[in-house]
Amino acid sequence: MGAAAACFLAVEGVKVVGIIDRAGGLIREEGFSLDEIRQLFIDRKGNTLVAEDMLSFEEVNAKIWDVPAEIFIPAAASRLVTADQVERMASAGLEVISWWANVPFADPEIFFGPIGVLADERVAVIPDFIANCGMARVFAYLMSEGAQVTDEAIFQDVSETIARALRKTYADNAAKTGIAQRSFSLALAQLV
């Protein structure tokens, strides 16, 4: 993982247990507090993580893929997550990859290659066009008749759109894996 920021989240309330970017990273298996995460956001330099106790990229990259976590969010750059990293995260208990980067897997294919398929067969992978649909959906909502311009209304519409997409995928594939492949198939069928 070279130029990305990625968060590892463990769901017990939801806690961030690790962050990695091109400058280095942080690991705290017991989780960071909301105030600590807020301070990291405030202290960043551009999009670069800055922290007093930051590990070097080499050190954090050697360790972070084995940190127990339920959710992994690749959130900044494309084509960085390797098959070995997917296997290590799955072995450490990973259940979900909610991809927020355009194509997080280090595959040469445009959308979904062998590493993406491997991940989708090992854990629940929510593809970016569902997990990261926020701004596109906000624009569509704001252009709709009767749109209410409030935080609550916009958030509700985006949440309902994501939920609809996941329910549609689940109705066609109730397994905990294969979600991304089935979501892609359903989306492409709608385009044709």
72-81 pLDDT tens trace: 998 877 888 9
Q: Supply angle C-alpha 32, 121, 184, rounded to 5.
A: 95
Q: Summarize pLDDT for 16-71 with one digit per residue, the tens.
A: 999 998 889 999 999 999 899 999 999 999 888 999 999 999 999 999 999 999 99
Buried b (16+ CB within 10 A) or exposed e, 46-83: eeebebeebbebeebbeebbebebbbbbbbbbbbbbbb
CA distance 101 to 80: 10
CA distance 39 to 105: 29
Residue 1, pLDDT above cutoff 60: no
| Entry pTM | 0.81
Indicate the average pLDDT of the chain.
Answer: 88
3-state secondary structure of 174: coil
pLDDT of amino acid 173: 87
Structural domain boundaries in the chain = 1-126, 129-192
Q: Summarize pLDDT for 77-102 with one digit per residue, the tens.
A: 788 899 999 999 999 999 999 987 67
Cα–Cα distances (Å) from 101 to 90, 137, 170, 180, in that order, read 19, 17, 23, 14
Query: Would you say the C-alpha torsion 110, 82, 130, 60 has a positive or negative sign?
Result: negative
* Superfamily the domain 1-126 falls into: NAD(P)-binding Rossmann-like Domain (3.40.50.720)
pLDDT of amino acid 158: 87
pLDDT of amino acid 25: 95
Mean pLDDT across 147-153: 92
CA distance 110 to 108: 6
